[in-house]
Structure 1
């Protein structure tokens, strides 16, 4: 009897292995994952961690290859989400800013001065607002799995210290390719110029543009003090959450078990990436800011009164975009931030 029990158990195990092998045979040898920047940027770190954890936890059944520089869409960041829906890209760790031309609601995170701190950002991505955003992304044609982070975007320039909106008058600043950024910087008196990051770097070097806005991790890794960006103002006017997504057809090709592995790997990689994005910027650990100051850069932290001047001057932009994004969603976000 024991012999027959052993044989039945062995047969069941072989059947399970056979099913897994059959599914694995239908899997691609490689799944292409799009990002804008590679490691050592936190964005690339999160993507690489996702690939590492997925391969490890699926015993190599699912292999992710990272393609930084949005090279799968010829460097055009704003085309990335469309390419995911079309299946040109299998997966992505993408920016809410870059996808906002296709998903208007993602402009929520670009509302000027909505999020005063990291707790406010977390209250959105990890609460009902984040759940609602995921529902919207799903309806738009991609499967969202988890959040990561590019960070709060700070303004830098080669001309002058920025403490008031008047200090921005006439400054030619590179901004990302979303209309709300043109509106914000125009309201503050600057001359916003939309261009890809590939074009921005030489423009900063030659002085064709005076400054830019990006998280300090990007500033640091790229040694932007060497590009003349010797004035940094910490104002935390918007943040740039990142989202792990999968093309729906690719998602459906996986077994339920592998889907859950892929999702949990994204959650864990996202948390890892958030830690990397905030390192040296939170609490008693200000080492990244100290490092930047060590290059002779003037780093200004606005007082509450100074920050309020920027809040006030961009409020008409906030109100106009609240209507475009959806008042109910913005109201939900404002409540989440207030209750953080």
Structure 2
């Protein structure tokens, strides 16, 4: 009987080992020269190290797996076409309405507010919802606060935005927000944006400074006016397909989880480098990571970008214009989740 039991155990172990694929696909929207892309590469490396080479992840940059349709990424993850993804909550929000919490304009005024929600009851509720939908969330990363750039003029008030053709990602709340502000929003996948800016099809766009504006040198495409308004922040989620996750034995799951947390901390620090109170730069220095641009705003000014920083009163005017958007979308997201998030923020203050 013992011999039969031992044989059975080895058969099970053999089946488990046989489940490892030669390659696991990781989807990323942007290129490798961004904090987002660098975090993806670090995650892949750490997973390889911590699993003893059993899980070999290949990073598919620039939307290769979803052919440029970035809002389709979550569908690829939940169906197992992508084994892993480091996805923007914006891109996944059309399929996961709760993620529109992070798209509410001016809802997260500080990094402290965001961290409190991610680590609090609202963040846990969102992760549970992702599990229900076929993904296994592993860690929170970040793309950064989204700032506005354009080729026409400084934007300091809603009136300055009137009629400007602004590219937004394909999540309906962004169309609603920019229409409320008087702009002419155009939904467009990132793969098309650089050409559209160069050809003047669109006049402006909104994206993080460290994560997108600097790596893609948008000022070379005419985007020489930047408004620092922190109107929306863009968390990332390190996640596995539930289909893939179930094939891993517990010790491998544990190793991948550890890799995700470590890579996410590194990635988030890259995204915030020079934009927070110095915490991220100090952390990266402790890892021996050299950051070339330690003052992103000064760097942009050196490239001829005019940086406009609205006063609190001027920001209040933007917030007033989108009050209706916040109310409508809070109902769509779910009042309970919004209340949780407000409570998380309050506890952090």
Give the shorter-chain TM-score range: over 0.9
Q: 1:287 aligns with which of 263, 284, 295?
A: 295
CA distance in 1, matches of 2:110, 2:304: 26
Q: How does 1:49-128 map to 2 (within 5 A)?
A: 49-128=42-121
Contact 1:114 1:334 in 2 (8 A): no
Displacement after TM superposition at 1:206 (Å): 1.4
Q: Could you tell me which residue of structure 1 aligns to residue 287 of structure 2?
A: none
How big is the shift at 1:110?
0.3
Match of 1:246 in 2: 240
Give the corresponding residue for 1:316. 324
**Measured at CA, do residues 144 and 173 of structure 1 come closer, stay the same or move farther in structure 2, by a change above 3 Å?**
same
Establish whether residue 138 from structure 1 lines up as the match of residue 146 from structure 2. no
In structure 1, the residue corresponding to 2:65 is in which secondary structure? helix
Q: Distance in 2 between matches of 1:159 and 1:339?
A: 42
Which of 218, 229, 246 lines up with 1:235 in the alignment?
Answer: 229
Partner of 2:322, secondary structure, is: helix
Unmatched segments (≥5 aa) in structure 1 = 1-11
Partner of 2:334: 326
Measure how far apart 1:338 and its partner are: 2.7
**1:169 maps onto 2:162 in alignment:** yes
- Selected match of 1:225 from 219, 227, 235: 219
Query: Contact between 1:96 and 1:107, CA under 8 Å: does it hold in 2?
Result: yes
The answer to whether residue 189 in structure 2 is matched with residue 181 in structure 1 is no
Q: CA deviation at 1:16?
A: 9.7
| Aligned match for 2:34, one of 26, 36, 41 | 41
> Take 1:115 and 1:232, find their aligned partners in 2: how far apart are those partners?
20
Cα displacement string for residues 279-314 of structure 1 (whole angstroms, at most 9, x for unaligned residues): 111125761111111111111122111111111110
Report the secondary structure of 1:291's partner residue: helix
Counting only pairs closer than 5 Å after superposition, residues 252-291 of structure 1 correspond to structure 2 as 252-283=246-277, 287-291=295-299
Deviation digits for residues 236-258 of structure 1 (CA, Å, limit 9, x no counterpart): 11111011111112111111000
Paired residues, number: 327
CA distance, structure 2, for counterparts of residue 167 and residue 338 of structure 1: 33
In structure 2, C-alpha distance between the alignment counterparts of 1:325 and 1:135, rounded to whole Å: 15
Q: Provide the rounded CA distance (Å) in 1 between the counterparts of 2:155 and 2:229.
A: 10
Look up the match of 1:307.
315
TM-score by length of 1: 0.93
| Greater Cα radius of gyration, structure 1 or 2 | 1
Q: Among residues 23, 39, 42, which one is paired with 1:30 in the alignment?
A: 23
What's 2:284 paired with? none
Report which stretch shifted further, 39-48 or 113-122: 39-48
Report SS of the residue matched to 1:339: helix
Q: Distance in 2 between matches of 1:337 and 1:311?
A: 18
Task: Specify every segment of 5 or more residues in structure 2 that has no aligned partner in the other structure, as ranges.
Answer: 1-5, 282-293
Alignment counterpart, residue 338 of structure 1, candidates 326, 339, 346: 346
Q: Aligned partners of 2:113, 2:48: CA distance in 1, in Å? A: 33
Distance in 1, matches of 2:159 and 2:46, equals: 48
Does the alignment pair 1:149 with 2:134?
A: no
User: Does structure 1 retain, via aligned residues, the 8 Å contact 2:68–2:190?
Assistant: no
1:339 positional shift: 2.8
Report how far residue 18 of structure 1 moved: 9.2
